[in-house]
């Protein structure tokens, strides 16, 4: 139960994130503005889904707001993260399927794939690599990065992209595991070190790896997780 100034007067003790105090202590300014704008005496019920981050993890919270009495409002909160992510992933897969059939060229297809994946996780730094097994070379037809320029077509070397392509296995590295993995596998790195690195192999129906999708994060606030993998 909250008042018009977003002060919390009662809360469910089992509530994981919201404690006593003011909603502004628990929600982003964008979300508190949304809630504040919906505080009206004539409101019978208003439902919104808000995105919040706690401990570098993103949550989706369904909020239902109703007028109670005497300038007090009831605020019902429900964690819908799993359902919402599944819905977004289904939408992403559908968008990529549409792009495969509707794109007139590969450049357009790569851009559409990037835009679709952006709906699931942060993809400010995103690239697609394609391998030519006949000459053991890798090209980077799509490469968006805030710090590094697009790599030229190259022969195989001991890089993270080559590791994923050679093994055919996805790889997620955070700030700590990144250094250990690089050292353990003698990986050669060129460019700015990321905070997170995620590589997922692109495979044909016969399980042959033909390339890789890579996502990098240079900011600890944009943490890549197992769910993103």
**pLDDT the model gives residue 142:** 94
**pLDDT the model gives residue 85:** 78
Q: Please, what sign has the CA dihedral across residues 122, 124, 50, 18? A: positive
Q: Model pTM?
A: 0.67
When pLDDT is cut at 50, 70 and 90, the band that residue 6 belongs to is very high
Q: Which of 10-19, 122-131, 137-146, 161-170 has the lowest mean pLDDT?
A: 10-19
Torsion of CA 60, 201, 169, 206, to 10 degrees: 120
The rounded distance, in Å, linking the Cα atoms of 214 and 125 is 8
Whole-number average pLDDT of the chain = 87
| pLDDT greater than 80 at residue 64 | yes
First to last CA, the chain: 38
| pLDDT greater than 90 at residue 210 | yes
């Amino acid at each position: 139960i909250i008042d018009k100034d977003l002060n919390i007067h009662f809360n469910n003790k089992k509530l994981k994130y919201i404690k006593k105090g003011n909603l502004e202590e628990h929600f982003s300014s964008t979300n508190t503005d949304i809630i504040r704008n919906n505080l009206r005496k004539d409101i019978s019920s208003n439902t919104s889904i808000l995105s919040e981050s706690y401990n570098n993890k993103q949550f989706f919270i369904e909020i239902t707001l109703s007028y109670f009495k005497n300038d007090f409002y009831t605020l019902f909160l429900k964690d819908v993260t799993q359902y919402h992510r599944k819905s977004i992933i289904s939408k992403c897969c559908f968008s990529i399927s549409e792009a495969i059939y509707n794109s007139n060229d590969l450049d357009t297809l790569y851009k559409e794939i990037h835009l679709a994946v952006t709906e699931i996780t942060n993809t400010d730094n995103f690239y697609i690599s394609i391998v030519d097994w006949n000459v053991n070379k890798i090209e980077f037809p799509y490469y968006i990065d805030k710090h590094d320029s697009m790599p030229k077509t190259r022969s195989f070397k001991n890089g993270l992209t080559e590791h994923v392509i050679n093994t055919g296995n996805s790889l997620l590295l955070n700030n700590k595991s990144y250094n250990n993995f690089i050292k353990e596998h003698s990986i050669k790195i060129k460019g700015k070190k990321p905070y997170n690195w995620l590589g997922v192999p692109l495979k044909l129906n016969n399980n042959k790896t033909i390339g890789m999708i890579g996502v990098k994060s240079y900011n600890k606030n944009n943490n890549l997780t197992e769910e993103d993998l």
